[in-house]
Amino acid sequence: MDERRKYRRKVVNSRVRIFHSSFGSLDTKTRDISDGGVLILACDGLPDLLINDEVQLVFLDSGDLDVVFNMDVVRHDSPCLALKFLNYEKDGEIYPINNLREIWQKQE
C-alpha cells in the first residue's frame, strides 16, 4: 500500500476541547498529531460530523489557551475523528497555519 500522508504522525495524548454549532463544546483527547492535522478520540455526545464540516479546537494542555485552531473534518469513523489544520486565531486575528510552523521552528 502506498503511503499518502504528507506529514509524519506523532503519538500525542493531549486534552483538547472542540467546538461546533451542533453540539457546543466537548472535551476529549488526541491520539496523534502531525503538521497537517490531528486525530482525536470521538467522545460521548459527539454527533456525526460531515466531511468538510469546520470545527474549532483548543489544546487544553497548551501554555497558551488563547490559540484557537480552525479545523476541517476529513474523516469520522469510530472511535476517531480526523481533523486538518486550516488556520488559527489569537487575540481576534486569524493567521495562516504556516505562520505558526515558522514560529515553532525559530524556537527550536
Radius of gyration of the chain measured on its C-alpha atoms: 14
Residue 55 near residue 20, CB atoms below 8 Å: yes
Residue with cell 497555519: 97
How does pLDDT run across 64-107, given as a tens digit for each residue? 888 999 999 999 877 889 999 999 999 999 999 888 766 655 55
Identify whether 47 is preceded by a cis peptide bond (ω within 30 of 0): no
Domains defined along the chain, listed by start: 10-107 (2.40.10.220)
What is the model's pTM? Answer: 0.84
pLDDT tier at 30, thresholds 50, 70, 90: very high
Share of the chain above pLDDT 70, in %: 84
Tell me how far apart the terminal alpha carbons of the chain are, to the nearest angstrom: 34
In this predicted model, which residue has the larger pLDDT, 43 or 62? Answer: 62
More confident residue, 78 or 40: 40
Element of type H or E holding 103: helix 97-107
